[in-house]
Structure 1
């Protein structure tokens, strides 16, 4: 149960917030001003501090600065009066996790606390691993695990380039751990006490991506009711991960290139440029040179980002790492699901190592999580796997073994099994791959009530890829529109 400290000088507001946050399952304490808040932050060690901006003795901004100097990671959520957006932006610059305008919207506050709790758990897990740095005896670098030569090469490259400020391009199939590499680069750099911000370029509509990355001024476009800091400004002095960089629109790529070269950005609707100090790590599951040739990635941007390239190997190329990776995952799942699994039987390990893992480490994690929940205690065995695991064509991730599920169509056998499992139309022998893929996409859309974001997640493809596919099927307007 996460601890939340509420720092608010108005007693009725403090009491109300304390009761509200307690009702969501958090442990709470209150403080009347920044001085008392800092004392309790030192003694009680909360995961999250929700603080007012204007307070006697020590205001919220000074409290934020003092908390940032503490060795423990504490997420600070700033409460600001309506109309003081400049103060909120300044708080984010100084390392605040987020802000909420007063009067407080309970739904927004609850969402912020959930996100802060998740980040706190990830940070604490990473902190233990990073404190060990690279340990040849256990083969770990923070959350990254592996004793194979391939993973040792990755670890060595991360340690060598992390202290620098150069841009890095991380490549590899979906599920190989590219974001973990970016986090490792951040935590092993001098920027580790500053923000780490990750943005998925494929998950943001083209009409909003420039605003999300570079920010906008009030009135810059319809619906821009206030100034908003973009991801670059939120990551000031820290690290920005641009995931799926090949899905970024060409115009935005050109603007990104200028920011990387000039170290200045211009918010949408602004007449002035703002200096930025951000290390950029980009990631893609595509072959970047092929993406350049196809016009999906600007060549000049690719060469600017690709100062160093870290290639994450697919799991099928280092199957010997399954044992240590799975053992670490079991520990994580025991803690998350209150289980007491002690390890894996040899028969299970042999089965796992005979599988090709088209979904890579992400798929392995899903498999271990399911098995841990099914077992609850003792050793994991074959009986804790899905009944169809290892059969020809089976994969929880729809995609061709050995290739990215985002960029490739499904094999007929995989589509057929998926449709059969969902009690939908069975794909007959002789059906083309394109037709099988079309049926799978449209049936998935039906099952999600035409929720394209959810459908893309289920299918294991990007939202942009799904949109492109739907354009091909536009004759079926009932399902596409």
Structure 2
């Protein structure tokens, strides 16, 4: 039988301990017993306990004193107290001190089992909630430490975002694809009053037009073909927290009208529903479109645009904040390469190429480039990330990279590769041109991760 959790039964009467512990054990609980408050406290200090069932009246440390001590050891332990009819006031005092429930004597085993089951459920939920809050705290720390803002432009964005986080008003985050709009939304959420609840994301651009309404507002059973059950939408899922509407510029006009109504009065109806529902949600929106131009062309509602643009953040493209490129690349490299291996440095030529590239895909393109470079460098056994590992189009000396800034290893490698290509891969001819023996050429190729070549 699956273990349902650990229960400690405490009573100075052994005739009570045995049948209660045996019954709870038969129902799948891991059961411990103690004949005094002091013995119970010693057990609780030594091992994990979920639920404690204790008599109130015991010699030495009584039930109330044990309850107080147990809560100091583990605030989430659930305590059920047993009391006689004449001691109901003590049971009420126990509840005031944090007991989960009390059971009046005479006691039936079924009653104790039912209360212990409920207390165990509460213990599990309390521990899960604590773990979730800790996970959220760590996530907030990660967001704060992972955002790279070496450039003045990004430092200003984060400063504004931190200010916007203190309000509950909508924020429109725009910028090119891959600039990190969702990361900024996470930063706003993590620094706001709703940070202990989730940030829910709805990607409006990935949904078919006929599904957006249902995904956002939910639907009732039978609202349309295939709606076999009622289903809450993202607004209900995000209740109490924050909802990010990613690519909001892709919303159909009909859904825009319903969203505007929700933003204005906080209520909505599910698709096919008649009941007005109210939720408490902060809405953030992100887009790579020029919404003001879409308003002019009639593609986006003007009233919704003004409702969303109370606060606006425009995340600059990577090419306009070149100071962030190398720190971002190193952050990604540490995350990708450093998980199980020694972190590889970027060669000077690779650093120059990273800075010279225009990054049309912005931060997302940089991330994928670094991932590819780490894999390529490891595959070839390189000791640093060189220019070819990046795989950037046109990344060679003369294409934005100063040849004078190459490392000796990189310059040697490039020269060997060029000679090999000019000699059609013939190592003997290449060795003659380079003024070395074929054995020396082979070692050069191996030491610099040279290109494949054929022997004459």
TM-score (norm 2): 0.59
Which residue of structure 2 lines up, in the alignment, with residue 379 of structure 1? Answer: 384
The answer to whether structure 1 residue 290 and structure 2 residue 293 are counterparts is: yes
Quote the offset at 1:62 in angstroms: 6.8
1:230 and 1:361 map into 2 onto residues whose CA distance is 31
> Which whole-Å deviations, capped at 9, do the CAs of 1:170-229 have from their partners, x for residues lacking one?
000000000001111100111011111111111111111111001111121111111111
Which residue of structure 2 lines up, in the alignment, with residue 261 of structure 1? Answer: 264
1:306 and 1:195 map into 2 onto residues whose CA distance is 23
How do 1:418-429 residues align onto structure 2 when only pairs under 5 Å count?
Answer: none
Quote the offset at 1:266 in angstroms: 0.9
2:257 and 2:3 map into 1 onto residues whose CA distance is 44
Which residue of structure 2 lines up, in the alignment, with residue 368 of structure 1? Answer: 370
| Match of residue 225, structure 1, among 225, 228, 242 | 228
1:165 and 1:388 map into 2 onto residues whose CA distance is 44
Over the residues paired in the alignment, what is the CA RMSD in angstroms?
Answer: 3.5
Where structure 1 has 5 or more consecutive residues not aligned to the other structure, the ranges are: 1-5, 15-32, 44-53, 75-122, 131-140, 395-481
Q: Is the 8 A contact 1:146 1:152 kept in 2?
A: yes
1:317 and 1:227 map into 2 onto residues whose CA distance is 47
1:246 and 1:359 map into 2 onto residues whose CA distance is 19
Quote the offset at 1:58 in angstroms: 3.5
1:195 and 1:321 map into 2 onto residues whose CA distance is 29
1:277 and 1:163 map into 2 onto residues whose CA distance is 16
The answer to whether structure 1 residue 184 and structure 2 residue 245 are counterparts is: no
Quote the offset at 1:390 in angstroms: 3.4
Quote the offset at 1:65 in angstroms: 5.0
Quote the offset at 1:34 in angstroms: 7.6
The answer to whether structure 1 residue 199 and structure 2 residue 212 are counterparts is: no
Structure-2 change in CA distance of 1:344 and 1:309 (3 Å): same
How do 1:9-48 residues align onto structure 2 when only pairs under 5 Å count?
Answer: none
SS state of the match for residue 321, structure 1?
A: helix
| Match of residue 303, structure 2, among 300, 309, 318 | 300
Which residue of structure 1 lines up, in the alignment, with residue 250 of structure 2? Answer: 247
- The count of aligned residue pairs is 300
Which residue of structure 2 lines up, in the alignment, with residue 67 of structure 1? Answer: 128
Q: Is the 8 A contact 1:176 1:360 kept in 2?
A: yes
Structure-2 change in CA distance of 1:318 and 1:278 (3 Å): same
Moved more, 215-224 or 354-363: 215-224
Structure-2 change in CA distance of 1:73 and 1:223 (3 Å): farther
Structure-2 change in CA distance of 1:68 and 1:282 (3 Å): same
TM-score (norm 1): 0.56
The answer to whether structure 1 residue 128 and structure 2 residue 141 are counterparts is: yes
Quote the offset at 1:61 in angstroms: 6.9
Quote the offset at 1:365 in angstroms: 0.3
Q: Is the 8 A contact 2:373 2:390 kept in 1?
A: yes
Where structure 2 has 5 or more consecutive residues not aligned to the other structure, the ranges are: 6-24, 29-48, 53-72, 78-114, 400-456
Quote the offset at 1:250 in angstroms: 0.3
